[in-house]
Amino acid sequence: MRVTHFLFAVFLLSSPLARGDPWQFEYLLMPSAQVVGTFDRQAPFTQFYDELVAADNLFTIQRGPFKLFGEYYLSDHEGDLERLQLGWQLSSDTVVWMGRYHQPSSEWNHEHHHGQYLSTTITRPAAEEWEDLGGILPQHFTGILVESNHAGPNGWYLRTAAAGGLAPQLTSGGLEPFDLVHPDHNRRQGGYQARASLHPSEFADTGFGVLAASDDIAVVSLPTTPAALGLEHVDLTLLGVFGTYATPSWKIFATYYYVGTELHYLDRLPHNHFSVGYLQAEKRLGHEFTAFGRIEASIGAADSPYLHLFPEAGRDKYIGGLRWDFMQRQALTLQLGKTYTLQGHFADVRFQWCAALF
Amino acid sequence: MRRLLCILLLACGVFGPVHSASESVVLVVRADSPVKDLSSVEVRKLFLGVPVLVEGRLLHAIRNRSDARLDDIFLQQIVAMTQEAYDRQILVGLNRQGWVRPAEVGSVARVIEDLYVDPQAVSYMWLRDVEHNPRLKVLRTLWGE
């Protein structure tokens, strides 16, 4: 039985437990369109895959404490059921999800997911990139996710998320998460992730936290790089810290990841580690303009055998730009970027329209 | 003089409460609703789309948009946000966890009808619209002059 059918069946079976509660529905469309140009190309891979036109469709079907929540992303590059989660609201503070989810050991995921309109910048940091767009860390898992938000002393709030599920596999096209619509029968391994953060109030952006993950990635078809010959599976250990400072006019946030890697070859087991991080600053100007800049940097990336499995992986990147929220829930953004990959560098300019439509 | 004082006191007693009552915004549920009370934090969460459970059952918020003054009071007193920040919070909640935003209703009569059919529904309205209605229960005053 396909996982999607299973989730729908469980949802229908659980709905009698919510007898008397009305059905509730929600739908949100976040479309975007962009043009991209690259120049000063000094690398064999001068740009990541680009999604020029995209529509992010979010829907919720809720009855009582049970909820089916999905996100279907359609673009000129792909059509994919990014999230499909059956949720049980245990209490006002805690929800348990089953299905395909975005790994919670990423504050960027928690803030934006695929919602282009909710991101001030056009591009995600390289460390947070989706698997099918050249991402180096697994982002989509299928399993169980628990999210909580608890009041603490002095008005502070503790947000937590913990999850475990089937990890993406490594193929010749990069990391490939489990597809709910077209499931495969390949051998997959598991991954566990957790995030905890403290915030001065329940809805505050300001806060700081820690994250951790342990992901085992099965290799099902070897990437076409010399580093992949004889590789059986990869174990990733992720530790990180993040923080955000937000005022009505400023928002500054940063994330640092330490990534430990174990590459299990037939005849050897090299251990390595590298670090990646980014710092983004946003300044709200008058007339609905927001200026932004981001620095992405890495340590030890050039020597990482794991990163050499991803020839287009970004090492360092600098971006800056301007966003104009020219009308309610619609924005135009201009972004300039300079990217240093493991094999060279290039620059890019992007212009994007994005919106959020109920 | 004493007679005049008595008349004045009587006038205050009769008309005073009516005047203040008609200028109050109250939190309302169906008369047989299991909801006994909600703190201001819970009310804020409810109208921001955050799931709020009472006795294990999910509450449903109804945003009363029957007049512009109520909208101002909603933003200032209930969710304590600008309209822009409220819109963003609703988007963020839906994007993160599939929160269902409060139903928006444009007439008092329709708000009352929706409260009649759903014991888990919670809304707010001017006290004058609800004070003589035995089928509805006032939980608390959210705003008053």
Query: Which residue of B lies nearest to A97 if distances are taken between CA atoms?
Result: B97
Residue A300, phi-psi category: left (phi > 0), alpha (psi -120 to 50), beta (remainder): left
Contact of B80 with chain A, judged by CB distance below 8 Å, is answered with no
What are the mean pLDDT values of chain A's consecutive 10-residue runs (358 residues total)?
A: 60 60 92 91 66 92 94 90 95 95 93 93 94 92 96 92 95 89 85 96 93 94 70 94 96 97 89 95 96 96 89 88 96 96 89 95
Residue from A66, A146, A203, A251 whose CB has the most chain B CBs within 10 Å, to mutate: A203
- Residue of B41, B48, B58 lying closest to A21 (CB–CB): B58
Contact of A328 with chain B, judged by CB distance below 8 Å, is answered with yes
Q: How far is CA A231 from CA A138, A139, A171, A219, A308, in A?
A: 18, 21, 11, 7, 13
pLDDT for B10:
45
Return the number of CB contacts < 8 Å for A and B.
74
- Residue of A26, A65, A202 lying closest to B100 (CB–CB): A26
Strands A207-218 and B24-30: unpaired
Contact A21, A98 (CB under 8 A): no
Q: How many CA atoms lie within 13 A of B69 on its CB side?
A: 8
pLDDT digits 0-9 by tens, B103-145: 999 999 999 999 999 999 999 999 999 988 999 999 999 998 7
pLDDT digits 0-9 by tens, A141-167: 999 999 999 998 888 999 999 999 999
Which residues, listed in sequence order, are joined to residue B62 by a DSSP beta bridge? Answer: B103
Asked if the Cβ–Cβ distance from B58 to A91 is below 8 Å, we say: no
Which residues in chain B have Cβ-Cβ distances shorter than 8 Å to A111?
A: 92
CATH for B24-144? 3.40.190.10
pLDDT for A266:
85
Q: Where are the domains of chain A?
A: 3-355
CA dihedral A202, A145, A95, A239 (to 10 degrees): -20
Name the minimum distance, in Å, from the CA of B39 to any CA of chain A.
13
Asked if the Cβ–Cβ distance from A26 to B51 is below 8 Å, we say: no
pLDDT for A31:
97
Contact of B53 with chain A, judged by CB distance below 8 Å, is answered with yes
Q: What 3 state SS string does A88-126 have? A: EECCCCEEEEEEEEECCCCHHHHHHCCCHHHCCCCCCCH
Spatial neighbors of A4 by CB under 8 A, at least 6 apart, are A81, A84, A180, A181
Asked if the Cβ–Cβ distance from B95 to A58 is below 8 Å, we say: yes
Asked if the Cβ–Cβ distance from A87 to B60 is below 8 Å, we say: no
Query: Which residue of B lies nearest to A118 if distances are taken between CA atoms?
Result: B92
Name the residue among A288, A269, A302 with its Cα closest to residue A332. Answer: A288
Alpha-carbon A153 to chain mean position: 31
pLDDT for A47:
54
ipTM above 0.85, yes or no: yes
Residue from B91, B104, B117, B122 whose CB has the most chain A CBs within 10 Å, to mutate: B91
DSSP secondary structure letters along A176-225: EPPPSSS-------EEEEEEEEEESSTT-S-EEEEEEEEEEEEBSS--SS
pLDDT for A7:
60
Helix (H, G, I), strand (E, B) or coil at A44: coil
* In the block, residue with structure tokens 């085992």: A216
The number of residues making up chain B comes to 145
State residue A167 phi and psi, 5-degree precision. -90, 160
Query: Which residue of A lies nearest to B52 if distances are taken between CA atoms?
Result: A92
Name the minimum distance, in Å, from the CA of B14 to any CA of chain A.
42
Which residue type is seen at A287?
H
Helix (H, G, I), strand (E, B) or coil at A247: coil
Contact B112, B133 (CB under 8 A): yes
Question: Which residues of chain B from 22 to 41 reach within 8 Å of chain A, CB to CB?
Answer: 41
Which residue type is seen at A85?
Q
Contact of B48 with chain A, judged by CB distance below 8 Å, is answered with yes
- Residue of B53, B92, B120 lying closest to A118 (CB–CB): B92
Residue A301, both tokens: 């990336």
Distance separating alpha carbons of residues A166 and A190, to the nearest angstrom: 5
Spatial neighbors of A29 by CB under 8 A, at least 6 apart, are A55, A56, A57, A58, A356, A357, A358
pLDDT for B134:
94
Which residues in chain B have Cβ-Cβ distances shorter than 8 Å to A203?
A: 48, 89
pLDDT for A282:
98
pLDDT for A185:
83
Name the residue among A324, A343, A326, A325 with its Cα closest to residue A334. Answer: A324
Name the minimum distance, in Å, from the CA of B119 to any CA of chain A.
9
* In the block, residue with structure tokens 């004889």: A230
Contact of A202 with chain B, judged by CB distance below 8 Å, is answered with yes
Distance separating alpha carbons of residues A219 and A264, to the nearest angstrom: 10
Strands B103-105 and B60-64: parallel
Distance separating alpha carbons of residues B92 and A120, to the nearest angstrom: 13
DSSP state of B78: I
Q: How far is CA A318 from CA A126, A218, A339, in A?
A: 11, 33, 7
Name the minimum distance, in Å, from the CA of B16 to any CA of chain A.
38
Query: Which residue of B lies nearest to A25 if distances are taken between CA atoms?
Result: B100
pLDDT digits 0-9 by tens, A97-143: 999 999 999 999 989 998 999 999 999 999 999 998 889 999 999 99
Decide which of 2.40.160.10, 3.30.565.10, 3.40.50.920, 3.30.830.10 is the CATH code for A3-355.
2.40.160.10
Asked if the Cβ–Cβ distance from B89 to A95 is below 8 Å, we say: no
Q: Where are the domains of chain B?
A: 24-144
Alpha-carbon B5 to chain mean position: 37
The 10 Å CB-count burial string (b at 16+, else e) for B80-100 is ebeeeebbbbbbbbbbbbbbb
Residue A336, both tokens: 């300039």
DSSP run (H or E) holding A156: none
Name the residue among A108, A122, A100 with its Cα closest to residue A34. Answer: A122
Distance separating alpha carbons of residues B145 and B140, to the nearest angstrom: 15
Residue A101, both tokens: 């989810």
* In the block, residue with structure tokens 């036109």: A53
pLDDT for A262:
95
- What parts of chain B have a pLDDT lower than 50? 1, 6, 8-21
